Amino acid sequence: MITMFLVLSIVFMLMRLLPTDTYFGGRSDSMSDTVKENILKQLGLFDPWYVQLGNFWKKLLLHGDLGESIVIQQGAKCVDLIIPKAKWSFQFGAIAMIFQMLIGYSMGVMMARWKGRFFDSLGNLYILLINALPAAVYFLFIQIYVSKALGLPMLFERYNPVSRILPILCLSLGGIASNAMWMRRYMVDQMNLDYIRLARAKGMTSSQVAFRHVMRNAFIPMAQSLPTTLLFTISGSLYVESLFSIPGMGGLLITSIQRQDNTMVQAMVLLYSAISVIGLLLGDIMMMICDPRISLTKKGGSR
């Protein structure tokens, strides 16, 4: 909670460093100085920073209020603008997440089982490409060439379910790669340990060992990152949503940046920071559930 408070406060203070010109929504030339000053005063930008910070927290905690949009839809509450967008992001994110887990984990398990064989090197090539290439580049090429090759629409259309295939594909590619990579690495690490050798010596078949022992232990470090990935996938990818023009939260953030809607950017940025902090917290809890040896309350003997 303290971390969250600090993080949000820091982000809020950083936003205060902005030049005030950007608060007039691109109409600063046509306004007189008194009008400008009035607007700024209304927004409370002349108050000392601790008053601003206090007001911000008071509004957020008591009313759940993140301020009003300036450019995109003048006077509308940011929260009201975000919520309908979040629905789309959630829909896409949830589906992509399922794909990521199903394909990614099984790919990692298979790569570890047949380590050094053809499938393993194929998977490694895929992981290498996804990790090394900037996401923008391969998304663009998928949008251009895969859409043509499969005859799919390039952009998202609300009433055309086929148009959802490509965005979901793009959303899951990165996650599949990282899931498979970590799963493979942890499983390979585990396989060299003594208890696995004992299990094999006891006469368990290798698939029994793989699923009952290796996978369960390999999953523990992955459990920590699970909630963060979940929250971020759901909160929408900045790239994919604006590339395929999906009306989601990521796209909204980009639009508000491009049109310089300060309060909107602030609201979105705060939201994303909050999501990441919550994700990390949930990740720790998740890890505790998966692994009874870890407890959050115990103070580790530092050195």
Partner 1 sequence: MSRFSVKENRANRLEEALLEQIEQTAAERDELTAGEIESLDPEEFETVPYSAEGAERIGYSNYSYWRSTLRMFLKNRLAVAMLIVIVLLMGFAIVQAYLPGQGTRGLTEGILPAQGPQNAIRIYNWPDGTKDAGLPMKNQRPSGAFWFGTNAIGQDLWSMIWSGTRTSLIIGFAVALIEAVVGTFTGLLWGYIRKLDFFFTELYNVLNNIPTTIVLILCTYVMRASIPTLILAMSLTGWMGLARFIRNQVLMIRDRDFNLASRCLGTPTDRIIVKNLIPQMVSVIMLRMALAVPGAIGWEVFLSYIGLGLSVDTPSLGNLVNTGRAMISAPRLRYQLIFPAVILSVITICFYLVGNAFADAADPRNHL
Chain positions contacting partner 1, by CB under 8 A: 3-4, 6-7, 10-11, 14-15, 17-18, 128-129, 131-137, 140-141, 143-144, 154, 232, 238-239, 242, 253-254, 257-258, 265, 269, 272-273, 276-277, 280, 303
Compute the least distance from the CB of residue 211 to partner 1, in Å: 29
Nearer to partner 1, 17 or 61 (CB): 17
Closest contact distance (angstroms) between CB of 239 and partner 1 is 7
Question: Given the complex with partner 1, which of 199 and 248 has the nearer CB atom?
Answer: 248
Distance CA 300, CA 278 (A): 22
Query: Using H for helix, E for strand and C for coil, what is the string for the chain?
Result: CHHHHHHHHHHHHHHCCCCHHHHHCCCHHHCCHHHHHHHHHHCCCCCCHHHHHHHHHHHHHHHCCCCECCCCCCCCEHHHHHHHHHHHHHHHHHHHHHHHHHHHHHHHHHHHHCCCCHHHHHHHHHHHHHHHCCHHHHHHHHHHHHHHHHCCCCCCCCCCHHHHHHHHHHHHHHHHHHHHHHHHHHHHHHHCCHHHHHHHHHCCCHHHHHHHHHHHHHHHHHHHHHHHHHHHHHCCCHHHHHHCCCCCHHHHHHHHHHCCCHHHHHHHHHHHHHHHHHHHHHHHHHHHHHCCCCCCCCCCCCC
- Taking the least distance from each CB to partner 1, the nearer of 13 and 31 is 13
Q: Which is nearer to partner 1, 165 or 257 (CB)?
A: 257
Q: Which is nearer to partner 1, 143 or 217 (CB)?
A: 143
Contacts of 248 (CB under 8 A, 6+ apart): 85, 86, 88, 89, 92, 236, 241
Which of 142, 199 has the CB closer to partner 1?
142
| Shortest reach from residue 160's CB to partner 1, in Å | 18
Q: How far is the CB of 153 from partner 1 (least distance, A)?
A: 13
* Closest CB 37 distance from partner 1, rounded Å: 22
CB of residue 290 vs partner 1: minimum separation in angstroms? 22
Nearer to partner 1, 141 or 195 (CB): 141
Q: How far is the CB of 205 from partner 1 (least distance, A)?
A: 31
Region label for 236, one of left (φ > 0), alpha (ψ between -120 and 50) or beta (otherwise): left
To partner 1, the closest distance from the beta carbon of 231 in angstroms equals 11
Taking the least distance from each CB to partner 1, the nearer of 11 and 285 is 11
